[in-house]
Amino acid sequence: MVRMDLIGKCGIQFFGKMSASISHDLKNVLAVINENAGLLEDFCLMAEKGRALEPTRLKRLAEDVKHQICRGDRIITSLNTFAHSADRESVTIDLRELLGLLVELSLRYASMRGVHLEIDPPADAIMVTTFPFILLNLLWFCLDFAMTAAGPDKTIALAAEKSGDGARLRFRKLAGMDAAAASFPTDSPNALARVLNAHIRLDPDSREVAVSLPGGAQDA
């Protein structure tokens, strides 16, 4: 039996956690732009006092601002996509894009734990019909566990692949899985998996966690 109270609690906590991380990254972008604005003010004061300005320094400053604007745009695009993942309960999505979004949302947490995330994308799109927000929530639980089980190499490989008439998402290279396996999955990811008719499998021999999704995988 699916506990909807637990599902709701998981969703609120997940949305809050990701929103906090995204807002932190946006504040960093604004802080860098503000710092560069301060440098521009200093250059203006120097020019008013008759000191020559170095074009290379101004060019570098402009490039830094452009870089931060692009970074901020990427962050907001991820936030927008993440927010819309809760719009509908049944949507056909490309798992490659969903994995990319998961990584974008998780980069700060991975960096804080010294973990490198790498995606091994399939050549073709893998389309499934699912509830994107709940699937993202489930995959976050798996990735959070994978970061604990990454071992000394601190690298996690994420992959999506077709599996029969369904699909499978894999978190590989978990060298420390043996020590962490007893703590996963807990009630929360199990409840999310039941909503999606998905299955979580830990494979200590292959050093991976896999999430299998039911039929609905399609050719692009």
In the three-class reduction of DSSP (H, G, I as helix; E, B as strand; rest coil), residue 3 is classed as: coil
Per-residue model confidence (pLDDT) at position 218: 43
In the three-class reduction of DSSP (H, G, I as helix; E, B as strand; rest coil), residue 123 is classed as: coil
Tokens of 112: 């804080």
pLDDT in tens, 120-131: 878 888 999 999
By DSSP bridging, strand 199-203 and strand 208-213 are antiparallel
Per-residue model confidence (pLDDT) at position 183: 85
Which residue type does 60 have?
R
Tokens of 77: 């695009």
Sign of CA dihedral 95, 209, 13, 23: negative
pTM of the model: 0.88
By DSSP bridging, strand 91-94 and strand 127-130 are antiparallel
Q: Which whole number is the average pLDDT over 201-218?
A: 85
Distance CA 172, CA 169 (A): 10
Per-residue model confidence (pLDDT) at position 48: 84
Q: Which residue has the higher pLDDT, 199 or 52?
A: 199
pLDDT in tens, 80-104: 999 999 999 999 999 999 999 999 9
Share of the chain above pLDDT 90, in %: 71
